[in-house]
C-alpha cells in the first residue's frame, strides 16, 4: 500500500530554496575546514588583489581562455559575461 501526502507548491519551493542555501553553507564550511581548501582560498584572494584573473563574455571566449598559454603574464582581457 502506497501512502501520499499533498504538499502545496509554494511550500515545496520554499523548502527547496532553503535547502539550496543550507547546501551552500555546508560546502563553504567544508572548504574552510580543509587545509588544502583554505590554501586555495588564500591563493585566489592574492590573485584577485593582483588582478591576476580574467572575465569572459561568451562560451567561445571561455574556450580561448582555457586553451591560452598561461605561462605569460595576464590581466583581465574579457568583460561582461551574460
Coil, helix or strand for 5?
A: coil
The structure's pTM equals 0.47
Task: Give the pLDDT confidence of 11-30 residue by residue, as tens digits.
Answer: 999 999 999 999 999 999 99
Check whether 77 has a pLDDT greater than 70: no
Name, in order, each residue with C-beta under 8 angstroms of 70's C-beta and a sequence gap of 6 or more: none
Task: Give the pLDDT confidence of 31-63 residue by residue, as tens digits.
Answer: 889 999 889 889 989 988 998 888 889 999 888
Amino acid at each position: 500500500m502506497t501512502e501520499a501526502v499533498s504538499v502545496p507548491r509554494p511550500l515545496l519551493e520554499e523548502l527547496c530554496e532553503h535547502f539550496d542555501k543550507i547546501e551552500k553553507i555546508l560546502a563553504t564550511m567544508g572548504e574552510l575546514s580543509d587545509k588544502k581548501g583554505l590554501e586555495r582560498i588564500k591563493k585566489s584572494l592574492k590573485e584577485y588583489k593582483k588582478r591576476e584573473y580574467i572575465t569572459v563574455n561568451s562560451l567561445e571566449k571561455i574556450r580561448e581562455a582555457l586553451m591560452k598559454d598561461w605561462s605569460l603574464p595576464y590581466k583581465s582581457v574579457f568583460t561582461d559575461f551574460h
